[in-house]
Amino acid sequence: MLISNPNGNRKAVVIFSGGQDSTTCLIQAIQEYGVQNTEAISFNYGQRHHIELEKARWICQDLGVKQTLIDLSSTQNFTANAMMSDVPITAGENGVPNTLVDGRNALFLLYAAIHAKGIGATDVITGVCETDFSGYPDCRDVFIKSMNVTLNLAMDYNFNIRTPLMYLTKAQTWQLADELGALDYVQQHSHTCYVGVDGGCGECPSCQLREKGLREYLQSKQAVNQ
Ligand code: ZN
C-alpha cells in the first residue's frame, strides 16, 4: 500500500463499524495520517449481531490500529428499531428503513470528539454518506456541519469532521477502496450484512446495496480497460 503522510503529525479518530464504508475510511486515514496517528472508535449500541463488532476488532488488530470500544448498549432500554431487535427490516411510510437508529450519528460523533480531544486529535472521520441512504437524516452533510459547530462550542476546540464518502455512490466507494490498493481487503474482511451472515446473506438491503455497487464498479472498470 502507498504510504503518504500529507497530514504530518495530525491525528485522526475514525468512527469504525467494520463495514465497507468505515473500513475504506480507516484504510484511507492510515495512508493519510500514518498508522501511529490513526485511531478507531467503535460502539456497542446493542446491534442485532455481534459479528459486526468482532470483525471491527479483527480489522483493527490486523491493521495495527488502536481501537477504543464504547458501550452504548443502554440505548436499547429506550429505543426500538430493526437494527437492535428481531423485528423484520421494512421501509417505513416516509421510505426510511426501520433500521434507522434515532440520533445514532450524533451520539457517535459526540463520543468520538470527546475521545479525539483527549488524545490531541482534531480530525474525526466518519463514513456517512447521503447519496445512497438519503433517508437517514443524520447522514446528511447539513447535519454533519451543524454537529461540527456544536462540538466546537461544546468543548471550545476546533474539530474537523471529515466525511470522505459523503457524495460517493456505493460503486464510487468501491473505486476508492481500489485506488487505496484495498479492494480485495475491504471485500474480504468488512461486514455489512444486516442479518449478520458472515460473508453476507446477499439478500438484505445492505448486502444488495453493497453487491450492486461492486458489480457497477467492476463493470465500469472493465469497460475502461477494454
Ligand atoms: Zn445481508
**Residue 93's pLDDT is what?**
56
- Tell me how far the alpha carbon of residue 51 lies from the centroid of ligand 1, in angstroms: 12
The model's confidence at residue 2, banded by pLDDT at 50, 70 and 90, is very low
pLDDT more than 90, % of the chain: 66
82 C-alpha to ligand 1 centroid (Å): 14
Query: How many H-runs (helices) and E-runs (strands) does the chain carry?
Result: 7, 5
Residue 98 has pLDDT above 80, yes or no: no
- Using the predicted structure, report yes or no on whether residue 226 has a pLDDT greater than 80: no
Q: How much distance in Å is there from the Cα of 86 to the middle of ligand 1?
A: 14
Q: Give the CB-side neighbour count of residue 132, counting CA atoms within 13 A.
A: 18
**CB-based contacts of 197-203 (< 8 A; 24+ apart in sequence):** 198/51
Roughly what angle, to the nearest 10 degrees, separates helices 20-33 and 170-179? Answer: 30
Dist. CA 223 → ligand 1 center (Å): 28
Q: So what's the pLDDT on residue 76? A: 72
CA of 89 to the centre of ligand 1 (A): 11
Q: Does residue 56 contact residue 81 with C-beta atoms inside 8 Å?
A: no
Which pLDDT score, from 0 to 100, does residue 86 have? 57
CA distance 212 to 7: 34
Mean pLDDT of the chain: 88
The residue among 119 and 136 whose pLDDT is bigger is 119
Interval between CA 183 and ligand 1 midpoint (Å): 19
Task: Say if residue 50's pLDDT is above 90.
Answer: no
* Cα of 177 from ligand 1 centre, angstroms: 20
* C-alpha pair distances (Å), 158 with each of 57, 146, 151, 155, 183: 29, 13, 8, 9, 33
- Between residues 4 and 188, the one the model is more confident about: 188
Q: What is the mean pLDDT of residues 67-73?
A: 94
Q: Looking at residue 66, what is its pLDDT?
A: 98
Please state, in angstroms and rounded to a whole number, the distance separating the CA atoms of residues 88 and 91.
10
Model pTM score:
0.88
Using the mean position of ligand 1's atoms as its centre, give its distance from the Cα of residue 67 in Å: 25
CA 139 to ligand 1 centroid distance, Å:
21
* Alpha carbons 73 and 218: distance in angstroms, whole number: 38
What cell was used for 116? 479525539
The mean per-residue pLDDT over the stretch 49-56 comes to: 88
Please name every residue paired with 38 in a beta bridge, in sequence order, or none if there are none.
12
Cα of 58 to ligand 1 centre, how many Å? 20
Between residues 7 and 199, the one the model is more confident about: 199
Grade residue 73 by pLDDT with cuts at 50, 70 and 90. confident
Please tell me the distance between residue 202's alpha carbon and the centre of ligand 1 in angstroms: 5
Q: What confidence category does residue 225 fall into, taking pLDDT thresholds of 50, 70 and 90?
A: confident
Average pLDDT of 126-131?
Answer: 92
Query: Of 53, 38, 188, 60, which Cα lies nearest the Cα of 116?
Result: 38
Between the CA of 205 and the centroid of ligand 1 the distance, in Å, is 7
- From the CB of residue 126, how many other CB atoms can be counted at a distance below 10 Å? 26
* CA 136–ligand 1 middle distance (angstroms): 19
Average pLDDT, integer, range 13-42 = 97
- Ligand 1 centroid–CA 148 distance in Å is 32
| Range name among 8-12, 26-30, 63-67 with the lowest pLDDT average | 8-12
